[in-house]
Amino acid sequence: MKSSEIKEIAMQHYYKTCKAKKADLVRAIQLSEGNQLCFDSNSSGRCGQWQCAWRDDCV
């Protein structure tokens, strides 16, 4: 997913996006959606969230 798309989603969740890194934004969105904070982490390959919107960018 492109950074501009991620920033748009983050703004819908009321997060400031000006200097945030992609991984930080995605994890903030994951948190607000009630998901595991596994994006770009050591556990991302085995998180089990197969329908996650970030899966293609993560694994």
CA distances from 52 to 7, 22, 56 (A): 17, 16, 9
pTM for this prediction: 0.72
Q: Where are the alpha helices (DSSP H) in the chain?
A: 3-12, 22-32, 55-58
Q: pLDDT for 6-56, tens place per residue?
A: 888 888 888 777 788 888 888 888 888 888 888 888 776 677 777 788 877
Q: Are 37 and 31 a contacting pair, CB within 8 Å?
A: yes
